[in-house]
Structure 1
C-alpha cells in the first residue's frame, strides 16, 4: 500500500541524515537562525513581546529553556511562546514564498527550546530547521494561495506543524510518536488574518511555536492523536485548504530525503524592511528611483502603487496611526521610506508614525490593483509611479523583493549588519558581536550551552 502524506512526513523527519544536507542547505539554515535570533532580540521591547514576557515571568516554570534577552529561563513551551512572539513583533523576520508566511518565527523558538532541553548539538538543530522548513514550504505548496487568501495566517497554521516536526526530531521521537505529535499540533493550529495590524499577529508565531513543542513533549509521553492527520476527509489539508479551485493533488506529493530540499529549492528570504512583505517590492522601486533621479520625499507630490489582487487584502491600513498599522499600510511605508530613505524598525515606532511630515505625505500615496500583476506563492510585484511637485514623473516596477526573495539574497555582510543592529536593542555591543560569532559556528557546537547564555542577557531591555 502506498504511504500516506502523514506517513511519508514522519519517515522524513526521522530519516533525513544531517550529513546528507548540502553545505548550501546548512549555510541557509544557519543564516535563517541568525536572522531569527536578531529579530527576536530587536522585538523584545514591542508591546506584544513585553506583555507576553511579563505574563510568562509571572507564571513561573521549571527553568529549562532560555527566554532571549530577558535574563531568565522558563519551560520550553513558555520560552517558545515568548521568543516566538518577540521574533515576529517587528514583522522584520524572514519569509518563505511557498508558505506565504514567516517560517522561522515559529520554528526557531521551538528548536532552541527543544535543543536546550535535549542538549542537542548545533548541527542537529540546523538539520531540524531543514526538516521544519520542508514541512511549512512543501505543505504550503499544496494549500496556497487558497489557504492564505481564505484568511488563514500560514505563519501560525503551517508553523505549528513545522515546529512540531523539528521539535520531535530533536527530542528523539519515534515514527509513531511523531505522527501523534503532528496530530496534536494540527488541532492547535490557528491564526486568522483579521488580526493583522494588532498585537495578536506576532502572538500567532509564539502560539505556533508553543503548540509545536508541547505537541512533541505530549506525544513523547504517550499522548495519542489520529495517525493520518494530514490525509483524507476532515484531515488538516481538507479542513484548512477546503474546496479550493485548481488545488494541487495531495496524492501526488510526498516527503522524501531523496527529493530536493526546500531549504535549497525555495529557500528563505531575509527582509530588508521591518514591515509586511507585500510592500517590499514597492519600497525597492522607490529607493531605486530616489537613487537614480536624486529627489527627496519633500519634493514628492504623489505616488501611485499598482499591486496584485491579493496585496490589498493584507495591506488593510490606509491612514496609519500606530507602528503596527504602518507595517500593513502601503501608504505609510512608502511615505516614511521617501522621507527617511529606509524602513527599518525605528521607522515603525509609534513616535515616528505620528510626526506631521509622514502623516501628511501618506495621504498622497495611493494603492490600486493592477490586473496585469500575477498572484504567485509569496511574491508581491509592484508598479510604482512617483510624481514630483515640479511635474517630473518617474516609474519603475519589481516582481521580486531584494533579500526577501531567495533568488536575490542579501550578502553575509548585510546579514551581519542587520543582526548587530537588531541585537543591540537587547544586548551590549560586545555581547552582540560574541553572539554573532558563536552563531556563525553553530554547526560545530556540541550543544547550545555556549551561545544561549550570551542571548539571555538583558542589559539593554527596558
Structure 2
C-alpha cells in the first residue's frame, strides 16, 4: 500500500476539489450566511480601538483611505481585526475557533479579482481547514492550544487563510500545499490579554488573515515549506499542540463531514460561553423581574467554560473595560437583567462607561458562577445553563436552557440574522449593502465579488474618524 500523501497535500487536494466541483448545498448556504454575518461584524468593528490602530498603522506605508487600494495582506489584516473586534463573529465548540472572522476577511481581501462563486468556495474551505486544525488540538473536550495559552482562532485560522488565499490566487496543488506549509511558520497569538486585559485579541484574526494571505503569495512566487510541516517532528502539531495532537482529525471524513456546519452564529456581542446565561437573564427580565428585586443569582455552567467567563471572580464582577466585559458571565447577565438592547444585549450596552455604572456593578457582584452537573455532562455537544435567582421576598425563580441560541440545534431565525446585520451596518450606505444581501441569497451581483467592496471602503474610512471604541 502506498504511503499517504503529506497532510498539507491532502488538504490542498481537498481545497481544489471543492473549488472545481463546488460545495454541498448546506455548506454553500452556511457560507453565504457567514459572509453576511461577518460583513456586518466588520462594519460594526470598524470604529473600535483595535481596528483604528491597525488602519493608522497601515496608513504609514499605504497613504489613502480606500480599502480596495491596499495590498491584499494589508486589507486582510484590517478586515480580520474589525471582524473580531466585538467578539460578535461566529464560533465553534469545542475547538473555540472563530472561523469566519479569518476566512471571510481573507476572501474579501481578494474580491477585486475573484468570481463570487469562487469567493464562497474558498471561504468555506478556509473555515473548514481552520476548524479541523482546532479539532486536532482537542484533548477530550479541552483545547491543548488553550491550555498552552495559544489563541485557537489565530493559530488555526492562519492555516485556513492560506488555503482561502491560495485558491483565490489560482495556486495548483503543489503550490497550495507549500502555502499551507509556510503558514505553519507564521501562526501565532497568545491569550494572556484575555486574562489580564489588552486590546490585542481582535488583531489575532487580522494577523491570521494577513499571514495566510502572505503565505499564499510567497508560495506563488516560489517559496517552499516542509512537506511534513504539520505532522513532522518539528511540525505544527508537535510544536504547538504536543502529545495530544490528532493528525487524523485534519483529514477524517474530509469533504463528507463539514465542521463548519456546527458553528454558532452569535445573537449577542459577547463571548459565546456567556450566551445561555444572557438568554436566561433576558427571559427573567421579560417576566417583569426588576434588578432591585434580586438578592442573588447563581449560574450553573459547564465546568470547562468557567475559566473563560467566571475566573477570577473579582475581575469578572468588575471588568476593566467594555471589551473585557464581553468575557464576563456576571457582568453580561447584569446587563441583560437591566434590559439590554437587540436580542438581549447590544453593542451600545458594552461601552467603557458601562463598566463604571454602579447599578450594573452592584448586580454583577451578586451573580455567582459554579459548575453545573447537568451542564458539564452535556458539554460540548450542548452549551446550556441553569439560572436560579433568589428574590428579596424569598422566592426563587429557576430557568434552564439546554442549547445556546444560534447553535445548530437552535439557529437564529432569518429575521434575527437580518436584524443583527441591519444594526451592525446602520452607519453604511444602504445601497452599497445590496450586493451583500444578494450574495447571501446566492444571487451574486452582476459585477461579481468586487461589488462587495464599496461598503467596506466606507467602513475603513470610519476607522480614521471614530474617537472611541464602541
- TM-score between both structures, scaled by the size of structure 2: 0.88
User: In structure 2, what is the equivalent of residue 129 of structure 1?
Assistant: 123
Equivalences for residues 325-336 of structure 1 within 5 A:
325-336=324-335
* Segment drifting more, 448-457 vs 342-351: 448-457
Gaps of 5+ in 1: none
User: In the TM superposition, what whole-angstrom CA distance separates every residue of 1:140-189 from its partner, at most 9, and x where no partner exists?
Assistant: 22212232233221111101111111111111111121121112211111
How far apart are the structure 2 equivalents of 1:77 and 1:257?
28
User: In structure 1, what is the equivalent of residue 192 of structure 2?
Assistant: 194
For the pair 1:357 / 2:354, whether they are aligned, the reply is: no
User: In structure 1, what is the equivalent of residue 85 of structure 2?
Assistant: 89
Specify which of 301, 310, 324 is matched with residue 304 of structure 2. Answer: 310
Equivalences for residues 288-327 of structure 1 within 5 A:
288-291=283-286, 293-315=287-309, 316=311, 317-318=315-316, 319-327=318-326
User: In structure 2, what is the equivalent of residue 392 of structure 1?
Assistant: 395
User: 2:433 touches 2:455 (CA, 8 Å); kept in 1?
Assistant: no
**Distance change (3 Å), C-alpha of 1:97 and 1:56:** same
Any idea what SS the aligned residue of 1:395 has? strand
**Distance change (3 Å), C-alpha of 1:377 and 1:161:** farther
Equivalences for residues 44-193 of structure 1 within 5 A:
44-60=46-62, 67=67, 73-116=69-112, 119-144=113-138, 145=142, 146-193=144-191
User: In structure 1, what is the equivalent of residue 458 of structure 2?
Assistant: 457
Query: 1:258 offset after TM fit, Å?
Result: 4.8
Gaps of 5+ in 2: none
User: 1:5 touches 1:251 (CA, 8 Å); kept in 2?
Assistant: no
User: 1:156 touches 1:208 (CA, 8 Å); kept in 2?
Assistant: yes
Any idea what SS the aligned residue of 2:296 has? strand
How far apart are the structure 2 equivalents of 1:114 and 1:62?
19
Q: Give the superposed CA RMSD.
A: 2.4
Query: 1:227 offset after TM fit, Å?
Result: 1.8
Specify which of 284, 297, 304 is matched with residue 279 of structure 2. Answer: 284
Any idea what SS the aligned residue of 1:108 has? helix
* Segment drifting more, 156-165 vs 408-417: 408-417
Query: 1:256 offset after TM fit, Å?
Result: 6.3
For the pair 1:259 / 2:256, whether they are aligned, the reply is: yes
How far apart are the structure 2 equivalents of 1:9 and 1:443?
29
**Distance change (3 Å), C-alpha of 1:255 and 1:453:** farther
**Distance change (3 Å), C-alpha of 1:443 and 1:140:** farther
How far apart are the structure 1 equivalents of 2:81 and 2:213?
15
**Distance change (3 Å), C-alpha of 1:252 and 1:452:** closer
User: 2:302 touches 2:379 (CA, 8 Å); kept in 1?
Assistant: no
Specify which of 366, 388, 396 is matched with residue 368 of structure 2. Answer: 366
Any idea what SS the aligned residue of 2:338 has? helix
* Segment drifting more, 380-389 vs 168-177: 380-389
Q: How many equivalent pairs are there?
A: 445
User: In the TM superposition, what whole-angstrom CA distance separates every residue of 1:348-392 from its partner, at most 9, and x where no partner exists?
Assistant: 111222222112211111112335514844854322211112222
* Segment drifting more, 77-86 vs 451-460: 451-460
**Distance change (3 Å), C-alpha of 1:208 and 1:374:** farther
**Distance change (3 Å), C-alpha of 1:434 and 1:263:** same
User: In structure 2, what is the equivalent of residue 13 of structure 1?
Assistant: 15
Query: 1:62 offset after TM fit, Å?
Result: 9.8
